Amino acid sequence: MASGSSGSSNSISTSSASGSDAEQELIEKNWQDEANCLGVDPDLFFPERGASTREAKEVCRGCVVRLECLEYALTNGEKFGIWGGLSERERRRLRRQRALAARKVTA
């Protein structure tokens, strides 16, 4: 879910950035500038429990920064909302699959 000019509720703070944090935030801002959800109602991406996620996922389907968005959510442990076209449950499943795969590589 992108922030920036959409004014969404999960915006990334830039007020206390310094050094590498600032660089990381610049990278994050760049992908957010390309987000398909800029200007889309943020509530769509944070549906009530049990509500449909279909519309949000439709917006994500055509998003050119979908992978960046998903990785941002996974890296930052975003627990709520649709990020990179995946719900919380789908991201948890992906995290588990990655953890299992990483264990197999190191074993």
Q: Which one among 28, 44, 53, 66 touches ligand SF4, defined by CB under 6 A?
A: 66
> Would you count residue 91 as binding ligand SF4 (CB under 6 A)?
no
CA Rg value for the chain: 15
Q: Give the separation between CA 6 and CA 25, rounded to whole angstroms.
A: 17
> Would you count residue 42 as binding ligand SF4 (CB under 6 A)?
no
Q: Which is nearer to ligand SF4, 84 or 103 (CB)?
A: 84
> Would you count residue 60 as binding ligand SF4 (CB under 6 A)?
yes
Q: Which of 41, 12, 38 is nearest to 27 (CA)?
A: 12
Q: Which of 73, 98, 95, 97 is nearest to 84 (CA)?
A: 73
Q: How far is the CB of 2 from ligand SF4 (least distance, A)?
A: 4
- The Cβ of residue 106 has, within 10 Å, a number of other Cβ atoms equal to 6
Q: Which is nearer to ligand SF4, 52 or 102 (CB)?
A: 52
Binding residues for ligand SF4 (CB under 6 A): 1-2, 35-37, 45, 59-60, 63, 65-66, 69, 82-85
